[in-house]
């Protein structure tokens, strides 16, 4: 169909930029580190991509970096493109598994656990609608694995 695929390990960029220890969340408030993260992860020309598979990485970003990241995604996606993201749906969970996702075949996806990480915040439907308010539509699906699947249309 003429599409190109671009892959970027945003979680690795997060770990390299903010550290993987106890200061991971606090380091996201550092403007210099936040700018480095955005530049390393999402520095593309406007309307570059037809879609984005964000997986579960957004739930590990602290506000306002989370909103900056979502806004940057909106900027680099073309109109009518889609974004897929996952958010852990267990409100009382102290940690959530961080996965590496691989598309194996057209209907098969492989999830490999990487680590247990504390999500920065819990996302319900209303908070997700607010997070993606600049997009045209937001749809939610709750999976049997306690993941909230979010499909957003630019």
Arithmetic mean of pLDDT over the chain: 88
Please give the residue that has the higher pLDDT: either 43 or 1: 43
Per-residue pLDDT band for 138 (boundaries 50, 70, 90) equals very high
Three-class SS of residue 85? Answer: strand
User: Beta-carbon neighbour count of residue 49 at 10 Å?
Assistant: 17
Render 69-84 in DSSP notation, one character per residue.
HHHHHHHHEEEEEEEE
Say yes or no to pLDDT of 22 above 70.
Answer: no
Measured between alpha carbons, how far is residue 107 from residues 15, 24, 96 in Å?
A: 30, 35, 25
The CATH class that applies to domain 10-153 reads: alpha beta
Residue 137's H or E segment, with its range, is strand 137-142
**Taking the mean position of all CA atoms in its chain, how far away is CA 44?**
16
């Amino acid at each position: 169909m003429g599409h190109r695929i671009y892959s970027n390990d945003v979680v690795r960029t997060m770990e390299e930029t903010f550290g993987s220890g106890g200061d991971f969340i606090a380091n996201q408030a550092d403007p210099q580190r936040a700018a480095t993260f955005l530049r390393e992860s999402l520095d593309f020309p406007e309307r570059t991509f037809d879609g984005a598979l964000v997986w579960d990485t957004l739930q590990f970003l602290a506000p306002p970096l989370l909103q900056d990241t979502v806004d940057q995604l909106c900027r680099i996606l073309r109109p009518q493109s889609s974004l897929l993201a996952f958010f852990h749906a267990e409100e009382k969970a102290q940690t959530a598994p961080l996965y590496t996702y691989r598309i194996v075949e057209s209907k098969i996806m492989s999830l490999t656990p990487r680590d247990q990480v504390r999500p920065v915040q819990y996302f319900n439907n209303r908070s997700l609608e607010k997070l993606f308010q600049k997009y045209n539509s937001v749809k939610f699906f709750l999976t049997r694995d306690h993941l909230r699947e979010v499909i957003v249309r630019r």
